Amino acid sequence: MFIPTKENYTEMTPTEFEQYAISVLKEQFQNKEIDNYSFTHNVQKDAHDGSYQIDGEIKLSTMGVDIVILVECKRYKGPVKREHIQALYGKICSVGAHKGVFITTSYFQSGALKYAKEHGIALISIIDGQLRYEARSEDWISNPVIPSWVNHKPFCMAMQTQKSETSVSISYIDDTDALYRFIIENNGGDKA
Q: Quick: pLDDT tens for 121-179.
A: 988 887 655 554 444 444 544 555 555 555 555 556 666 666 666 666 666 565 446 66
> In terms of pLDDT, which residue wins out, 120 or 150?
120
| Residues 81, 112 contacting (CB under 8 angstroms) | yes
Q: What percent of the chain has pLDDT over 70?
A: 57
* Count of C-beta atoms within a 10 Å radius of residue 159: 20
**pLDDT score of 152:** 52
Domains in the chain (CATH in brackets) are 15-185 (3.40.1350.10)
Please give the helix or strand (H or E) that residue 69 lies within, else none: strand 65-74
Please list, residue by residue across 130-155, b when 16 or more beta carbons sit within 10 angstroms of its beta carbon and e when fewer do: bbbbbbeeeeeeeeeeeeeeeeeeeb
Q: What is the pLDDT of residue 179?
A: 66
Q: How far apart are CA 85 and CA 190, in angstroms?
A: 15
Nearest to 53 by CA among 11, 95, 20: 95
* CA 61 – CA 36 distance, rounded (Å): 5
Q: How many CB atoms lie within 10 A of CB 184?
A: 19
Residue 98's SS3 state is coil
Average pLDDT, the chain: 75
* 57-89 CB burial, b ≥16 within 10 A, e <16: bbebebeeeebbbbbbbbbeeebbebebbbebb
Using CA atoms in the order 85, 88, 94, 95, what is the torsion angle rounded to 10 degrees? -150
> Higher-confidence residue: 47 or 178?
47
Q: Would you say residue 51 has pLDDT above 50?
A: yes
Choose between 52 and 165: higher pLDDT: 52
Q: Above 70 in pLDDT, residue 23?
A: yes
pTM over 0.85: no
The residue with greater pLDDT, 46 or 76, is: 46
Q: Angle at which helices 14-29 and 178-185 pack, to 10 degrees?
A: 70
Confidence category of residue 64, pLDDT binned at 50, 70, 90: confident
Residue range 5-16, pLDDT digits in tens: 444 445 678 888
Mean pLDDT of 91-95: 96
Query: What is the model's pLDDT at position 106?
Result: 84
pLDDT of residue 183: 65
